[in-house]
Amino acid sequence: MDLAQHLSFTLKSLRQSRGWSLSRLADETGVSKAMLGQIERNESSPTVSTLWKIATGLNVPFSAFITPASSAQPIFDPQQQAMVVKPLFPWDEQLRYDHFSITLAPGACSESTPHETGVVEHVVVIAGELDLRIEGKWQTLLPDSGVRFAGDKPHAYRNSSGETVHFHSLIHYPR
């Protein structure tokens, strides 16, 4: 099963296991019913931002949409490839975390909807300069620096430089 098929199958399975209609899923995720239907039918690939909204609305880790066999495959915005997310470690149910390697193209910005209540995110910059908005305030992180913050509030990542920025995101989910 390729990644697009896995996304389609996982989304439909998660929705049906909850007994939700596409309308309810749209209400819970903030993603349109039409887009959700297209993803379920494998007619459209969601952007990274859309996939985060879906995962948050379903209260599942982002990596739930990535098959273990393809865990090394990056997930990217199919239109722009402005943000590339590559899982470094598969979802760990016991430790309850996701660990991603992320790159942002020059000028790219990604708004993140709040994750589940109690989620804590750690961001560490590997290369380049990352602008990170937490609680409405932008801060710039340089290589070998990081920050930990409550991921259950709106936050954003921005690359205002002319070079690609590379960072890691470790996300802890509460029990």
Residue found under tokens 């990604």:
110
The CA-CA-CA angle for residues 60, 125, 122, to 5°, reads 35
Question: Which pLDDT band holds residue 114 (cuts at 50, 70, 90)?
Answer: confident
Q: Are 45 and 70 in contact (CB under 8 A)?
A: no
Cα 144 to Cα 127: distance, rounded to the nearest angstrom: 8
Report the run of H or E that residue 146 belongs to, with start and end. strand 146-150
Residue 72 DSSP symbol: T
- pLDDT 10s digits, 40-89: 999 988 888 888 889 888 888 888 887 554 445 555 544 456 888 888 88
Average pLDDT for the chain? 87
Kindly list the structural domains of the chain, giving each domain's residue range(s) and its CATH number in brackets, ordered by start.
Answer: 3-65 (1.10.260.40), 75-172 (2.60.120.10)
